[in-house]
Each structure stands twice: as C-alpha cells, then as structure tokens.
Amino acid sequence: MKIVATIEARMTSLRLPGKVLMPLAGKPMLQWLIERVRPSRRIDEIVLATSDQPSEEPIVELANKMEIPFYRGSLDDVLGRLTKCAESRNADLIVKLSGDNPLYHYDLIDAMVDHFLQSKYDFLGTTFMGFSKVWDVPRTFPLGLGIAIFPLQVLQDADRSAKKTEERESVVQYIIDRPHKYSLGAFQAEGESSGLNRPELRLTVDTEKDFELMQDLFSTLSKREKLFSIEEAIEFLDEHPEIRDSNKDIHQKDLVT
C-alpha cells in the first residue's frame, strides 16, 4: 500500500494572497509544513497539488528545491485536481493536508493513519465535521489541524459523483455530507491526543492576523526545537493569551478544501 500525503497550495488566496510562501521565522510557511510532515513513518510520499496558473511557479520552484513531486491541475475544480494528483502518484491511501496549516506534525499524522488502518472507515477526519450539513459530530481539534484520510477509490467515487460547484471547489464536501453512503470516522482529540482538545483555538492561516500569530509562535519555538510539537505550540499560546486571542474574531470561511 502506497500512502501519499497531498498538500493543496496556491498563491491566489483571496484574503491573504501568497500566504503559503510568506516568510515565517526565516522560511516560507509551506517549507515549514513540509519539514514537519516529512519525518512521518507512515507517509511514503509527499506531493504538492497546485493549480496550472502561471502564478503558481514559485510553489513549483519550492517543490523542486525540496525535491518533492508536484501536480498542476484546475484552479477551481479542486476535487478533480486532487483526484488526478493522487492517480498520478499511484496512491492507494491519501492523507489530505492544506497549505494553510503550518502546524501539522508527523506524530499526529502517524496516529491517524494507524487508527485508519485498524478501522473500516471510508473517511477519517479531524475537523471536517464542523463543515458538514449532516455529519452531527462535535469538533474537538483546533482549526488548522484539518487532516483527512481516505482510499483512492473513495476520492474517485466522489469525483465521478459530485456535480455542484461547491462540491467541486472542495475535496471533501461531497463525502462528509453523505454519511449514508460513506462510513465517516471522527478522529477525536482524546487519549494520546487529549492535549489537543482545544476546539476554540484558531491555528490556520487565512488572514494577516493569523499569520502574525504564527510568526510570533514559530519565531520563538523554532529556536528551541525545529520540529516543536503541537502541544508545545498550544502551551506557548496559553502562556501568551494576547497572542492566542489575537485572531479569535475572524470568521472561518465555509469552503472546505
């Protein structure tokens, strides 16, 4: 079984254009993300899934610099892009990540893959239930730790079936709105992940305030330990509530990529 981590990234974010390559504590944000995922013992390959627009050339340059593959597809049909990306890498199992979230950590990814492989789910996710119209399960992880795991066959089925614009613009919306069709698993922040049970925290980067929070966090913690844990990040934010709460008034967009 080949397990592939796909990272969706583009330069044309509406609220903060170019955010994925903005310098965060001396490195592009996307580089930090890749470095924090790379030590995974479960991931066989990381691939960047970006668009075919000329504006994405800097993302391709970073992929080449870090010696990881990339796939370029439709800007708006994100579901189709990710499906073709996974097929091009001969993936059996996909670990879906977003370029907006620099705090991903290989430990959490490995725990989720282990859980998925021991289950009979079609889909396992951390935060996506919060965006579903019908999947009535509480979200326990902070925003910004959105990880989804599903087999290629499930992604291909969604790609064939999804017709609505909002379902094509999202990779998982079609899946998470159909618990009658797919077996949906909620990976909750409990057990070894209980320290991440902080659903009120916003740890994604969608606005300037979000990025400033990450800048403060990475600038401090990366000096102590390059691949600091998510728990250490939360501890830092609790020690500095003025940083932790600086983006709490930002409304998260509904689109689930």
pLDDT single digits (tens) 2-40: 999 999 999 998 889 999 999 999 999 999 999 999 999
How is the chain split among helix, strand and coil, in percent rounded to 5?
40, 15, 45
pLDDT at site 43: 98
State the greatest distance between any 2 C-alpha atoms of the chain, in Å, as a whole number. 48
Please state the domain count of the chain.
1
pLDDT single digits (tens) 40-99: 999 999 999 999 999 999 999 999 999 999 999 999 999 999 999 999 999 999 999 999
Does residue 251 lie within any of the structural domains? no
Does residue 117 lie within any of the structural domains? yes
* DSSP symbol at 64: H
Does residue 177 lie within any of the structural domains? yes
Whether the pLDDT of residue 255 is over 80: the answer is no
Structural domain that includes position 153: 3-244
Per residue in 107-142, is it b (16+ CB within 10 Å) or e — as a string? bbbbbbbebbeeeebbbbbbbbbbbbeebebebbbb
Does residue 22 lie within any of the structural domains? yes
The enclosing domain of 99 has a CATH number of 3.90.550.10
Does residue 39 lie within any of the structural domains? yes
pTM here is: 0.97
pLDDT single digits (tens) 152-203: 999 999 999 999 999 999 999 999 999 999 999 999 999 999 999 999 999 9
pLDDT single digits (tens) 94-136: 999 999 999 999 999 999 999 999 999 999 999 999 999 899 9
Tokens of 94: 């996909």
What single-letter amino acid sits at 116? F
